[in-house]
Structure 1
Amino acid sequence: MSTTIVVAATPTSNGDLHIGHMAGPYLAGDVYARYLRATGESVIYTTCTDDSQSYVVSTARRLGTTPRALCARSTAAIGRSLSAMGVSMAGLPPIDDVYRRTVLEFVTALYEAGRFRKRTVRLPFATLSGTYLFDGLVAGTCPVCLAGSSGGVCEACGHPNNYDELLDPRSTMDPDDPVSYRDTEILVLPMEEYRDRLTAYYAGQAGRWRPHAMQLVGELLDRPLPEVPVTIPADWGVPAPFPETPGQMLYPWIEAMPAVMYSTWWSAGDTTLPVDEHWRAGHGADVVYFHGYDNVYHWGLMDLVFLLAHGDRYVTPSANVCNEFYDLAGEKFSTSRDHLIWTVDLLAEVPRDLVRFHLAHTAPEQARTGFSREGLRENGYRRLGTSWNALAEAMSAALRGLSGTVPVTAAGRRRAGAMLERFRGCYELPGYSMNRAAETVLTQLARLRDLAAASAIDAGDLVLETRTLLAGAAPILIDVAEAARANGVDLSLTAEPPTSVPVFELPRLPEEASHEAADHRDASVPDLLPLPLSAGAGVRRRSVRDER
């Protein structure tokens, strides 16, 4: 059996994950991985922290700590947040000597194959500190859309801005440090040399990407493709081993492909295999990325070129599932303004299934969406929890005195089959949508609740259709699903609807009283403002771009 490798954007270890991050690639990848497992697929869901990023350096400077200490603290916090949300990964692998050796072997193979070119480039330079500025170390104006932007890629339009392309550059480490330009020799990978293969690849992806992301790919292909930095003059990261660029580091973004090969290997658990084994083309693995719009250039184009540069050695992704931005009270999440909600803080107040459901229902799949406390209350406690528990009550009454298995009518089997197909349509690529899956849960829940309350459905049909609803909701509602499995309920999504089904009791969701207590606690806080922040609120987290 071939394996599906699900990769979530690698989080930069310069802070924790807020719910804007979680509503993007991490929950979406988890729901997809759980669905595949329920259909009998072999799945490795993985990511690892992106320790070499320049944002680690700039954040550490602002917080008065070291990059190494910040990485350690942030990695622990990110791991706790993923675990608290129930993200079904093996964990976060250590960024250790094995990781660094994997990265170096990946890039050295390309160097020895003659894939890199030496170039003289013009880089922004902070005059007083004597620091070359790139990515998170520099801010300015995007030359394409004229929005404010960091170096490397514009968060607003998604276009790259390498070297001296960023307009009005200033140092993020010290805005008063005058910026000049210096010519510097680095190694690059010319993307233009891979245009034909890229064009053929994207022709095969037609209809499989969300429209906004594919529009950006088209815009990038309509222009001369950039030369990707391979080395950069910096003080933090993985030292470049090439004689042409002594003292330079590997450009942080080129670590992505060997990083996820390493994290796949680590997550799979068999360390006797070569680190890149699971990604070798001969195994036929299906690779699916989950990332944000501002990472389309990196995950969709640049990282693909680094795979193609290895010839036919590695698989290429079969799909990129790209999300937009998730807002809070109509504005971007912002750590600097304390305009955010940390994942662990929200989960300390609200039961996990209700949080997962609301984020799934409002995730920014095709356009920017937003979070509010009232929305969570309406979706989680009222629309989902109240109806769910009403169905549980009605089901208990309808099945009182019954045990063992009960027969299912042909009509009940047809309805269960139709429900299953609806859920499959939500979870399968290319139409994957947590939004529609969550809405399907609400639709079928209301239907079954009303039928059960009116005694308008046969007992066996009610049991089968409720079990089908629970199975379809299980990738999102993980705790109620686990409670059902612990009582012997089969929630696989592979079998055809049976002619008889075992009686079971539908596990209940938390009541609104739990939320009323939280309301009382912070009654003085306006409803759409962030929840109280943890002590780590000062740790900077940018948007999904910083997670790849």
Structure 2
Amino acid sequence: MIVSRFSRSELSAAFGIEMSSIDGPGPGSGWGRVAPGGRSDPHQHDETEVFVIVSGSGDLLVDGERTPVGPGSVVVVEPFETHVIENTGPDDLVFFDLYWRDPLRAVEAAGAVRQRFGQRPVFVFSTPPTPNGDLHLGHLSGPYLGADAFVRFQRMNGTDAWHLTGSDDYQSYVVERARRDGTEPAETAAHFSAAIRATLHLMDITPDQYTVTNDDEGYAPGLRRFFSRLVASGSVRPQETGAVFDDETGAYLYEVSVSGGCPGCGGETSGNICEECGEPNTCADLTDPRASRSGAPARPGRITRFCLPLHEFGAQVADHHRTGRVPVRLRELAARVFHRGRLDLPVTHPSGWGVTPDEPGAPGQVIWVWPEMAYGFLHGIELLGRRLGRHWQADAPEQDWKIVHFFGYDNSFYHSLLYPVLYGLAFPRWRPDIDYHVNEFYLLSKEKFSTSRRHAIWGRDILGPDSVDAVRYFLASTRPEGRRTNFEPSAYEAVLRDTLIGSWQRWLTELGGRVRKWYGNVTPDAGVWRPEHTAFLDRLHTRLTAITGSLGQDGFSLNQAAAELTGIVTDVTRFTGSAYALQDDERWHDERRTTVALELAAARLVAACAVPVMPRFAARLAGCLGLPEIATWPRTVELLPAGTRIDLADTIFFTADRGVRTGHDLTNA
């Protein structure tokens, strides 16, 4: 017999609180203590864990859902659920902890079908684009296609998920584009914001909330309130720090107006952020800074701006990164940034374009557009809530909100380091639960897509009703997930010709011909099953499991999803290549019925699994199979009901393209 009693002397630091361990056979166990006002680090593990509250009171947060606990409360936490135990009372919160490994339970929990979001609202953001030009394929392949497919999949699995974006009107790049075009920034922003929205529509991407910051009358007042909260925290305050100026005109230089050597990696960069290494700069710390317009050396000086001592918040950022899905790439960036030491980050800049704060201390300055975006996400949620009849408020974010961000690596610092700090200052009791999905640069002819240099393939020049499925498929296949990838027009044309037309279209047409010839365009009932039939059915189920995992919240990868969709077609053609060897021998007609029924089941599976990636194609294929629009993700492979009318033989799903226009001569005016 083992007897254990709670003793503070046996406790030691673990998971941000105090824990002990009881030696003995069987499951692991021990005592835990959370001091008043304390909380454990957010964490996940493969064990099943049971908390038995002995004394005190607090909350247990499991995947963002807060549950009050007190003496007698017993809570079971499944493997990989993110959990935090928090003391909200005046006395110690004492609990008994029991945990054990169950490999089967852990594998099932790790499966992509898990509905970890539960009944929580899920807000999926694609980074608001800068309206200094239209969207090119580099933009579309990253945050926008990713967020759209993610939301479609989540909705098919019963999650309340919404896609939110808009136009980031107050960017300095808008001012520069307006200067070049001889227009006003507001006019430039409005023009390209409308163009961006139209291009998204061509891509079959219709966000649930599209916020135009310069046109929304409630946006600026809300942003000012958010900024005042930051100042009230005491951490954001006026501070005189180094800056750079145009030596000829005396103009203040930042972002697009200055360039130099990155203090992090040493590479060439514009002001404030390095696209290569992802690290921020203050412009004053650039090596050999130059004014972008003249190319002349910039003059160093000093200026008072509102600044944030970001270097003080390394522990808070690490704590935040333990909560949601934060790729190693982002955690490594955080380690580099906080290893640099002191970083007093200006959050206001002298400019005539933007929102001026209510707080005194930096006259003639506007709230920097990147900290502004932290508020913009919350504002978008409030606007979406108004339309849905939900009382969501930007000034009072709720703990059950799940936020999912899709963005390019060059935005990583702002999203995954700066914004968590700002949220902590503005809303100290809110513990934002955020997942991050980051993409690398998509290249064109081995160089970065660039709006400013007009080195791009614009979405509107390639997208249309007959091409959108092919474009979405190709971008899903080649988008830069974890590494930079390159768009080659010839590769796109080859995939369209050989994969989508030469393989997908050919299979569906031939399948339709078989159903017409043998069964009068009506689905046959399955007959006799042979071992090759059961093996193929199992293979289809394996593909379904793989696609489900590739679209889920943990393992999201459109590269993998596209590959698995084509894998289904490859499996079918391999299966039918031998299965129809005796197609004209009537002694085997019952086996032939099973083969055709399985082919149609594969087509049904393609129609369902293609919805997030190629929604227009999926809807057409479902209609040809006699199915209504598919709104639910399949849990298994299903045969079509016998007698279902089929209309596949004459349907054209993909057509040859006229060719892709490329080159520096493309404009977005």
Instruction: Give TM-score, length-normalised by structure 1.
Output: 0.88
Cα displacement (A) at 1:46: 0.8
2:277 is equivalent to residue 162 of structure 1: no
Q: Is the 8 A contact 1:285 1:315 kept in 2?
A: no
| CA displacement, residues 467-500 of structure 1 (integer Å, 9 cap, x when unaligned) | 1122112211121112245553463215444476
Q: Alpha carbons of 1:328 and 1:307: their partners in 2 closer, same or farther (altered >3 Å)? A: same
Alpha-carbon shift at residue 45 of structure 1 (Å): 0.4
Q: Which moved more, 1:128-137 or 1:217-226?
A: 217-226
Q: Distance in 1 between matches of 2:525 and 2:355?
A: 63
1:391 is matched with 507
Residues in 2 aligned to 1:21 and 1:157: alpha-carbon distance in whole angstroms: 19
The verdict on how the C-alpha distance between 1:413 and 1:74 changes in structure 2, with shifts beyond 3 A counting, is: same
Change (3 A) 1:101 1:429: same
Q: Displacement of 1:367 after TM fit?
A: 0.8
SS at match of 1:160: coil
Matches within 5 A, 1:104-143: 104-143=224-263
Cα deviation for residue 27 of structure 1 reads 0.8
Q: Distance in 1 between matches of 2:364 and 2:218?
A: 22
Write out aligned runs for 1:177-216 (5 A): 179-204=298-323, 208-216=325-333
Match of 1:471 in 2: 608
1:369 and 2:485 are equivalent in the alignment: yes
Displacement of 1:464 after TM fit?
A: 2.1
Q: Which residue of 2 aligns with 1:305?
A: 421
Aligned pairs (5 A) from 1:238-257 = 238-257=355-374
Give SS of 2:218's match: helix
Offset of residue 174 of structure 1? 3.8
Q: Which residue of 2 aligns with 1:332?
A: 448
Amino acid at match of 1:488: L
2:641 matched to 1:501? Answer: yes
**Aligned-partner Cα distance in 2 for 1:29–1:310:** 27
- Answer whether contact 2:600 2:639 (CA < 8 A) is retained: no
Q: 1:131 to 1:43 in 2, by over 3 A?
A: same
How far apart are residue 52 of structure 1 and its match? 1.2
Distance in 1 of aligned mates of 2:430 and 2:496: 42
Asked if 1:85 is matched to 2:203, the reply is yes
Matched, 1:403 2:526: no
Return closer, same or farther for 1:369/1:483 CA change in 2, 3 Å cut-off.
Answer: same
Q: What does residue 34 of structure 1 align with?
A: 152
Residues in 2 aligned to 1:351 and 1:53: alpha-carbon distance in whole angstroms = 32
Q: Which runs of 5+ in 2 are unaligned?
A: 1-118, 581-593
The change in CA–CA distance for 1:69 and 1:233 in structure 2 (over 3 A counts) is: same
Contact 2:260 2:290 (8 Å CA) reproduced: yes
C-alpha offsets along residues 122-149 of structure 1, whole Å, 9 cap, x if unaligned? 1111243332111122111212222111
Q: Which residue of 1 aligns with 2:378?
A: 261
Q: Which has the higher strand share?
A: 2
Q: Distance in 2 between matches of 1:450 and 1:101?
A: 62
Taking structure 1 as reference, are residues 69 and 311 closer, same or farther at Cα in structure 2, changes over 3 Å only?
Answer: closer
Paired with 1:163 and 1:451, the residues of 2 have a C-alpha distance of 61
Matched, 1:462 2:582: no
Q: 1:16 to 1:117 in 2, by over 3 A?
A: same
2:666 aligned with 1:533, yes or no?
yes
Whole-angstrom distance in 2 between the partners of 1:228 and 1:11: 23
| Bigger Cα displacement from structure 2, 389-398 vs 47-56 | 389-398
Q: Secondary structure at the match of 1:93?
A: strand
> Cα offset for 1:265?
2.9
Question: C-alpha separation between the residues in 1 aligned to 2:141 and 2:640?
Answer: 38
Task: Quote how far apart the aligned CAs of 1:317 are.
Answer: 4.2
Contact 1:322/1:365 (8 A) holds in 2: yes
Q: Is the 8 A contact 2:467 2:654 kept in 1?
A: no
1:82-123 deviations in whole A, cap 9, x for unaligned? 111111313522322211122112112222333322211111
| Separation in 2, partners of 1:99, 1:485 | 42
Separation in 2 of the partners of 1:220 and 1:159? 7
Superposed CA deviations along residues 515-535 of structure 1, whole A, max 9, x for unmatched, are 2xx25xx8xx8xxx5397355
Letter in 2 for 1:473: A
Q: CA deviation at 1:163?
A: 4.2
Change (3 A) 1:223 1:128: closer
CA contact (8 A) 2:446 2:486 kept: yes
Alpha-carbon distance change, 405 to 88 in structure 1, aligned in 2, over 3 angstroms: farther
Any idea what the Cα deviations from partners look like across 1:203-238, whole Å, max 9, x if unmatched? 445xx4444333222222333262332222222110
Whether contact under 8 Å (2:443, 2:487) holds in the other structure is: yes
**Match 1:419 to one of 525, 543, 549:** 543
Q: What one-letter code is carried by the residue in structure 2 that aligns with 1:40? A: G
> Are 1:149 and 2:265 matched, yes or no?
no
Q: Deviations over 1:329-353 (max 9, x none)?
A: 1122234554211011011596100
Cα gap change, 1:349 to 1:336, in 2 (>3 Å): farther
Which whole-Å CA distance do the structure 1 matches of 2:342 and 2:578 have between them?
63
Moved over 6 A (4+): none
State the partner residue of 1:539: none
RMSD: 2.7
Amino acid of the structure 2 residue aligned with 1:426:
S
Out of 138, 145, 151, the position equivalent to 1:20 is 138
Q: Deviations over 1:364-392 (max 9, x none)?
A: 11111011111101222311232111221
TM normalised by structure 2 equals: 0.72
Distance in structure 1 (CA, Å) of the matches to 2:197 and 2:136:
13
Q: 1:36 to 1:271 in 2, by over 3 A?
A: closer
- Amino acid paired to 1:218: A
Higher relative contact order (CA 8 A, sep 6+): 1
**Cα deviation, residue 275, structure 1:** 5.6
Cα distance in 1 for residues equivalent to 2:391 and 2:307: 27
Alignment of 1:226-241 (within 5 A): 226-241=343-358
- Where structure 1 has 5 or more consecutive residues not aligned to the other structure, the ranges are 537-548
Q: How many correspondences in the alignment?
A: 522
Q: 1:364 to 1:448 in 2, by over 3 A?
A: same
Letter in 2 for 1:386: G
CA 1:78/1:30 → structure 2, altered by over 3 Å: closer, same or farther?
same
Note if contact 2:443-2:486 (Cα within 8 Å) is conserved in structure 1.
Answer: yes
Aligned residue identity for 1:530: G
Higher Cα radius of gyration: 2
> Counterparts of 1:268 and 1:192 in 2: how far apart (Å)?
35
Amino acid at match of 1:325: F
Q: Determine the structure 1 residue equivalent to 2:69.
A: none
Amino acid at match of 2:246: A
SS state at 2:234 partner = coil
Residue 482 of structure 2 is aligned to residue 356 of structure 1:
no
Question: Percent identity among equivalent residues?
Answer: 27
Contact 1:40 1:494 in 2 (8 A): no
Structure 1 pair 376–225 and aligned structure 2 pair: CA distance change class (3 A): farther
Q: Secondary structure at the match of 2:187?
A: helix
